Amino acid sequence: MGSGTTLLAAEQTDRICYGAEIEPKYVEVCIERFKAASDKPAIHIETGLTFEELKETRLKETKMEVIHVE
């Protein structure tokens, strides 16, 4: 998916887009660009959470891991 250009083109032309990206930083860039161009939420398929909810959950989990490291 890279920076999300294909996703944005699909959104603008009312088409369905399926994509995959293994690099987390590009996933975030793609989602942020989509959010800026669309009023639709970005939903994580496995959890059903919005991008913001998932991000918050993962940040909390990371903080908990740091707290418990000895």
pTM of the predicted structure, to 2 decimals: 0.66
Residues of the chain with pLDDT under 70: 64-70
Q: Using CA atoms, how far apart are residues 11 and 62, in angstroms rounded to an integer?
A: 33
Residue with tokens 């699909």: 10
Percentage of the chain lying above the pLDDT 90 cut: 14
Q: List CB contacts of 18: < 8 A, sequence separation 6 or more.
A: none
Number of other CB atoms surrounding residue 52 within 10 Å? 12
Q: How far is CA 18 from the centre of its chain?
A: 13
